């Protein structure tokens, strides 16, 4: 397809969607007719020959990060800047009975004190914010916090899900004892099934554990507020802060959020939070910049988490191994609000009768959940995929054969077959552990899905592209790069469209003074912004082409921009020479995110992962030895960043499967492992050999065709590891994390 639009694209243009065969599989190509909007470049498709897109470019801000030149919110500092901190409630439930801040205010070096709760307000969990103080040093503030006189009226609390209101009864093995609610059709189908199975599965609360904690630096200039914040929603927190400040009677002009570098979020940083509001209030009261960043305990206990889940399944298969019935109920481990504990489950396994899926959230007196990388998915997929492996084992069917039998998705059918061959599934699965072997090996697999083709909301998201006479290019978005590689994606798309050298492109993200972009959630940023970025670069290119055509005296329609050259035939200008034609005022254009075309190749993204473990049956210690993942994310724009997303998700999956859990003290309602000492996260020596294959698909849903990638690879990992442990032991461990005590218990139950 030509780089240039057809004369009248409203007639529609034909594109090729789908994908080239995964090794050993078949090509899956289809034709589509799409209608690009006027002013939009023609869509890239399966036949597009890329120069930069899909190549192994290094992260554009990698050196800045590795050298410390990158400034995170934590690094921002101003002369005379104050430090802020919060007073946290020590009780899990009750009321604030008395609050006196006078003595704290009078302490040396204290510039501002703000009450965040009034006497009589509820205290809902250990760590609920009571007051905030700013002073000349962290030590001065800590001294002053000790002088706040706060009294509480404690009520009886509960931080144990087993005895939460509405929790099901469990037997000694942790299996739900309550009878299933009546369901005639399901029971009839189960009655006719060749093999049936039931089981209860459980996960624990995982915290986001972003390396940079929540908070930032607030600086007022009259009624205008600049806030350097560790956030994954620059535009969202801007509105939230403005409203909250106005709600406290503060006149607010323009709020500008800066989040050029963010040390992770994973779903916990969509809001400014009480820490953001407190920081702005302190800065306003003191009329000086204030830095307020949470400490690690506050980060673990007051900024959300991935809720745990209790899940029970029963199902049956016919004599061919086809699912004939499915029944499911789950209980989400929410916090004081009793919300946010939902569990997601796969919807692509074909079931002959209508499946039942029920869910309810249980409330306890802790910090509530927040979205965390694929909310609800890793827990639900662990429950479902381990249950399916147990069912398949009972029916005498290999887990891969079982998936191929029941999975309705063509893309994943190809991924299952290719992945199994690449991983060496058949041979590894056939490995027999000697009956008395101390170390037992096993392999497991699990599926993944996601559905994200971009936020097309109104007003449209956008991007600004500026081309300067010195040859440098700015591509700007007010959306934020929380570490996933957005800036690299922006630079690659811009260089591709302009034909400019990649090194000439500066990608800048995270300032709300730039065009709007989505929050970093739902794997939304790249698919939402990619077409806007491309359009901005395209519009800049049209202007540059005209200048070059005029200069060279050739028809503008003949001018091409490719590989750092602009022109046609022998009449070519190098990029830098061409840009000199621009003059002192740069080309400065905006691209917009237009609506998607009607019929994408596929609305959801597919993935499959494979894991191998070795279990020490003496000590119960599990080592993941290798993992392989195949993942679709539509068009792969920056290959290395995409692979890092997948490998990073697998690492997080190892950690979730084997280590991470919040441990609560029931009496006090306080988290016991609110640090990085006893809150265990997998480290370099624990990592398996990790490999992945990016399954690039021309999806044809917009001019670029990028789909979401942040979340999908994190769906399958823990489930695949749990299945591998089941294979190794011959007994399932139905409760994450798979710690030595649980492995030993599973081995003991097998013997008994």
Exposure of 63 by Cβ count < 10 A (0-12 exposed, 13-18 middle, 19+ buried)?
Answer: exposed
Helix (H), strand (E) at residue 199? strand 195-203
Q: Position of tokens 């041979």?
A: 427
For another protein, the binding residues in 277-306 under the rule CB under 8 A are none
Q: Which of 118, 677, 751, 752 binds another protein (CB under 8 A)?
A: 677
618 scored as a contact of another protein (CB under 8 A): yes
DSSP string, 212-224: SPSEEEEEEETTE
Q: Say whether 255 sits in a helix, a strand or coil.
A: strand
Q: Give exposure, 312-324, as e/b (b: 16+ Cβ within 10 Å).
A: bbbbbbbeebbbb
| Least distance in angstroms from the C-beta of 158 to another protein | 15
Nearer to another protein, 17 or 87 (CB): 87
109 scored as a contact of another protein (CB under 8 A): no
3-state secondary structure 552-576: HCCCHHHCEEECCEEEECCEEEEHH
Nearer to another protein, 184 or 667 (CB): 667
Nearer to another protein, 603 or 663 (CB): 663
- The Cβ of residue 2 has, within 10 Å, a number of other Cβ atoms equal to 8
Structure tokens given for 237: 């927190």
DSSP string, 641-662: HHHHHHHHHHHHHHHHHHT---
For another protein, the binding residues in 397-436 under the rule CB under 8 A are none
Q: Which of 56, 165, 171, 741 binds another protein (CB under 8 A)?
A: 741
Nearer to another protein, 269 or 670 (CB): 670
734 scored as a contact of another protein (CB under 8 A): no
For another protein, the binding residues in 652-671 under the rule CB under 8 A are 658-659, 663-668, 670
684 scored as a contact of another protein (CB under 8 A): yes
Q: Which ranges of 56-165 would DSSP assign to H, the alpha helix?
A: 62-67, 102-105, 138-145
Residue 569: which residues within 8 A CB-CB, separation 6 or more?
A: 558
Nearer to another protein, 108 or 396 (CB): 108
- The Cβ of residue 29 has, within 10 Å, a number of other Cβ atoms equal to 16
394 scored as a contact of another protein (CB under 8 A): no
The span of 209-217, 246-254, 446-454, 616-624 binding another protein (CB under 8 A) equals: 616-624
151 scored as a contact of another protein (CB under 8 A): no
The span of 116-124, 329-337, 531-539, 677-685 binding another protein (CB under 8 A) equals: 677-685
Nearer to another protein, 84 or 346 (CB): 84
Distance CA 504, CA 392 (A): 55
Q: Write each residue from 685 to 704 as x if it is in contact with another protein (CB under 8 A), else as -, in one continuous string.
A: xx------------------
The span of 29-37, 49-57, 557-565, 739-747 binding another protein (CB under 8 A) equals: 739-747
CB 599 within 8 A of CB 592: no
| Least distance in angstroms from the C-beta of 20 to another protein | 39
Nearer to another protein, 20 or 680 (CB): 680
The span of 17-25, 192-200, 427-435, 675-683 binding another protein (CB under 8 A) equals: 675-683
11 scored as a contact of another protein (CB under 8 A): no
Exposure of 683 by Cβ count < 10 A (0-12 exposed, 13-18 middle, 19+ buried)?
Answer: exposed
For another protein, the binding residues in 484-503 under the rule CB under 8 A are none
Judged by CB under 8 A, the number of residues near another protein is 32
94 scored as a contact of another protein (CB under 8 A): no
Q: Say whether 439 sits in a helix, a strand or coil.
A: strand
Q: Which of 63, 98, 603, 672 binds another protein (CB under 8 A)?
A: 672
Nearer to another protein, 191 or 683 (CB): 683
Distance CA 510, CA 258 (A): 6
| Least distance in angstroms from the C-beta of 274 to another protein | 20
Distance CA 526, CA 706 (A): 7
CB 389 within 8 A of CB 726: yes
Q: Which of 256, 366, 604, 682 binds another protein (CB under 8 A)?
A: 682
| Least distance in angstroms from the C-beta of 350 to another protein | 39
621 scored as a contact of another protein (CB under 8 A): yes
Distance CA 306, CA 132 (A): 27
Nearer to another protein, 458 or 667 (CB): 667
Nearer to another protein, 314 or 659 (CB): 659
The span of 54-62, 464-472, 674-682, 697-705 binding another protein (CB under 8 A) equals: 674-682
| Least distance in angstroms from the C-beta of 669 to another protein | 10
- The Cβ of residue 390 has, within 10 Å, a number of other Cβ atoms equal to 21
| Least distance in angstroms from the C-beta of 216 to another protein | 22
Nearest of 512, 239, 158, 520 to residue 371 by alpha carbon: 520
DSSP string, 305-373: -BPPEEEEEEEEE-TTS-EEEEEEEEEEE--TT--S--------B--SS--EEEEEEE--SSPPP---S
The span of 233-241, 613-621, 629-637, 641-649 binding another protein (CB under 8 A) equals: 613-621
Nearer to another protein, 294 or 495 (CB): 294
Q: Taken in order 359, 365, 371, 374, is the CA torsion positive or negative?
A: negative
- Expressed in angstroms, the distance from the first to the final Cα of the chain is 67
Q: Which of 678, 730, 749, 750 binds another protein (CB under 8 A)?
A: 678
Q: Which residues of the chain form contacts with another protein (CB under 8 A)?
A: 90, 139, 142, 616, 618-621, 658-659, 663-668, 670, 672-673, 677-678, 680, 682-686, 739-741, 744-745
């Amino acid at each position: 397809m030509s780089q240039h639009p057809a004369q009248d694209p409203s007639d529609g243009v034909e594109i090729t969607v789908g994908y080239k065969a995964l090794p050993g599989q078949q090509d899956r190509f289809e034709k589509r007719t799409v209608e690009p909007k006027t002013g939009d470049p023609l869509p890239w498709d399966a036949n597009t020959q890329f120069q930069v897109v899909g190549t192994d470019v290094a992260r554009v801000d990698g050196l800045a990060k590795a050298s410390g030149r990158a400034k995170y919110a934590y690094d921002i500092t101003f002369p005379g800047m104050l430090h802020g901190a919060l007073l946290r409630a020590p009780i899990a439930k009750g009321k604030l009975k008395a609050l006196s801040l006078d003595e704290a205010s009078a302490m040396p070096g204290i510039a501002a004190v703000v009450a965040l709760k009034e006497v009589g307000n509820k205290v809902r969990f250990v760590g609920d914010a009571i007051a905030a103080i700013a002073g000349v040093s962290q030590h001065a503030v800590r001294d002053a916090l000790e002088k706040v006189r706060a009294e509480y009226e404690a009520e009886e609390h509960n931080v144990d899900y087993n005895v939460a209101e509405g929790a099901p009864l469990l037997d000694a093995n942790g299996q739900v004892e309550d009878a299933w609610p009546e369901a005639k059709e399901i029971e009839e189908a189960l009655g006719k099934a060749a093999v049936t199975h039931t089981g209860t599965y459980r996960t624990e609360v995982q915290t986001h554990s972003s390396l940079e904690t929540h908070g930032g630096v607030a600086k007022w200039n009259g009624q205008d507020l600049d806030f350097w914040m560790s956030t994954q929603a620059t535009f969202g927190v801007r509105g939230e802060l403005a409203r909250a400040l106005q709600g406290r009677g503060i006149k607010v002009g323009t709020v500008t959020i800066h989040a050029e570098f963010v040390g992770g979020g994973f779903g916990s940083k969509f809001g400014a939070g009480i820490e953001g509001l407190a920081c702005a209030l302190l800065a306003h009261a003191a009329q000086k910049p204030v830095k307020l960043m949470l400490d690690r305990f506050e980060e673990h206990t007051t900024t959300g988490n991935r809720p745990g889940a209790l899940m029970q399944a029963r199902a049956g298969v016919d004599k061919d191994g086809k699912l004939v019935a499915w029944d499911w109920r789950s209980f989400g481990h929410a916090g004081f609000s009793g919300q946010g504990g939902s569990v997601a489950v796969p919807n692509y396994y074909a079931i002959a009768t209508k499946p039942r899926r029920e869910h309810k959230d249980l409330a306890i007196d802790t910090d509530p959940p927040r979205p965390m990388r694929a909310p609800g998915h890793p827990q639900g997929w662990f429950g479902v995929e381990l249950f399916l492996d147990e069912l398949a084992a009972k029916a005498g069917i290999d887990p891969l054969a079982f998936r191929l039998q029941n999975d309705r998705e063509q893309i994943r059918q190809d991924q299952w077959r290719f992945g199994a061959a690449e991983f060496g599934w058949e041979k590894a699965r056939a490995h027999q552990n000697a009956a008395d072997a101390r170390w037992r090996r096993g392999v497991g697999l699990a599926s993944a899905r996601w559905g994200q083709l971009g936020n097309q909301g109104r007003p449209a998201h956008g991007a600004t592209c500026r081309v300067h006479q010195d040859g440098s290019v700015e591509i700007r978005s007010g959306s934020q790069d929380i570490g996933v590689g957005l800036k690299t994606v922006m630079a690659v798309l811009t260089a591709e469209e302009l034909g400019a050298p990649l090194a000439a492109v500066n990608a800048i993200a995270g300032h709300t003074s730039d065009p709007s972009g989505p929050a970093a959630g739902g794997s939304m940023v790249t698919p939402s912004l990619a077409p806007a970025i491309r359009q901005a670069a395209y519009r800049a290119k049209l202007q540059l082409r005209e200048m070059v055509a005029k200069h060279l005296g050739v028809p503008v329609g003949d001018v091409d921009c490719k590989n750092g050259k602009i022109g046609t035939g022998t009449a070519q200008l190098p990029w830098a020479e061409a840009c000199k034609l621009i003059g002192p005022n740069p080309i400065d254009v905006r691209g917009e995110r237009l609506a998607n075309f009607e019929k994408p190749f596929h609305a959801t993204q597919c993935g499959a992962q494979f894991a191998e473990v070795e279990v020490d049956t003496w000590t119960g210690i599990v080592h993941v030895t290798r993992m392989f993942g195949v993942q679709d994310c539509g068009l792969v724009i920056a290959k290395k960043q995409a692979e890092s997303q997948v490998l990073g998700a697998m690492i997080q999956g190892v950690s979730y499967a084997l280590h991470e859990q919040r441990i609560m003290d029931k009496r006090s309602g306080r988290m016991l492992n609110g640090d990085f000492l006893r809150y265990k996260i997998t480290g370099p020596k624990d990592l398996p050999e990790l490999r992945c294959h990016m399954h690039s698909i021309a999806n044809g849903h917009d001019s670029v065709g990028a789909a979401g990638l942040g979340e999908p690879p994190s769906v399958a990992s823990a489930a695949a590891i749990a299945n591998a442990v089941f294979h190794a032991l011959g007994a399932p461990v139905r409760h994450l994390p798979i710690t030595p005590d649980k492995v030993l218990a599973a081995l003991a139950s097998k013997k008994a």
